[in-house]
Amino acid sequence: MSYTLTGPARHEVDIRKSRFLALAAPIDSPQSAQAFLEAQRDPQATHNCWAWQVGDQYRFSDDGEPGGTAGRPILQAIQSQDCDRVAVLLIRWFGGVKLGTGGLARAYGGTAAECLRLAEKTELREECRVRCSCLYPDMDRIQARLLAAGARIEEARFDAHGVVWDLVMALADAAELETLYVDQTRGQGDWRVLTD
């Protein structure tokens, strides 16, 4: 079982005169991770170290700290708390006291772990993508029912007859949503599970 954050989180701590600020956020792709990191980094800080994980993809950066003392401990904090689709940026303002490699790893990993521990989380469920269509007269009613049942519209394309939606939903809910969809379209709509 894995978790993501319900929203942004922050945790700040002073360790031997250095200030460490952890900023964490839910992400859904490597691109959204990079956008979060670029938007939140502080160019005035001594170091902007980070890590993110989306499924089996992950990246981390020590941003000038000794190799293995910042990015990897942040990633380990993400993984040790069974988090996925999460990015953590840890900003450090150096206070004049060197921490050594072990101290740095504990400071970065510990601050990231505490930020994630305090953050509000939600369970991640396996998702699937579905392409479906319906006629204009049914569109508003069907869209409202699908959204109320937990589907998300990823893309909508319109033609002369109606709409084609690409939906994302929990895999566990897909069969129930298909039944709802068939009922709402009176069997006239098209429902197809997409494979990447």
Q: What is the pLDDT at residue 181?
A: 87
* pLDDT value of position 171: 80
Which of 104, 123, 142 marks a domain boundary?
A: 123
Where in the sequence is the domain holding 72, given as residue range(s)? 3-123
CA distance 46 to 96: 11
> Is residue 27 a contact partner of residue 85, using CB atoms and an 8 Å limit?
yes
Say if residue 150 is in the same domain as residue 176. yes
Same domain membership, residue 67 and residue 30? yes
Tell me the CATH number at 176: 3.30.70.240
Domain end call among 123, 149, 177: 123
In contact, 122 and 6? CB cutoff 8 Å: yes
Residue 140 has pLDDT above 70, yes or no: yes
* Residue 193 in this model has a pLDDT that exceeds 90: no
Number of domains forming the structure of the chain: 2
- Both 108 and 134 in a single domain? no
| pLDDT tens digits, one per residue of 161-188 | 889 999 888 887 888 888 888 888 888 8
Q: Which of 78-92, 104-118, 182-196 is predicted with the least confidence, judged by mean pLDDT?
A: 182-196
Average pLDDT over residues 3-25: 91
Q: Could you give the count of Cα atoms lying within 13 Å of 195 in the half-sphere of its Cβ?
A: 0
Q: Are residues 145 and 178 in the same domain?
A: yes
Residue 196 — pLDDT band, cuts 50, 70, 90?
low
Residue 42 scores a pLDDT above 90: yes
Q: What is the mean pLDDT of residues 50-72?
A: 92
Which of helix, strand or coil describes residue 111? helix
Looking at the structure, tell me whether residues 108 and 167 fall in a common domain.
Answer: no
pLDDT tens digit sequence for 116-133: 999 988 887 777 889 999
CA 52 – CA 181 distance, rounded (Å): 36
Residue 172: enclosing H or E segment and its boundaries?
none
Over residues 31-41, the pLDDT tens digits come to 999 999 999 99
Could you tell me if 135 and 188 lie in one domain?
yes
pLDDT tier at 90, thresholds 50, 70, 90: very high
Q: Based on the domain organization, do 118 and 148 belong to the same domain?
A: no
Mean pLDDT of the chain: 89
User: Token match 């990246």: residue?
Assistant: 59
CATH number for the domain that contains residue 95:
3.30.230.30
Residues 134 and 99 in one domain: no
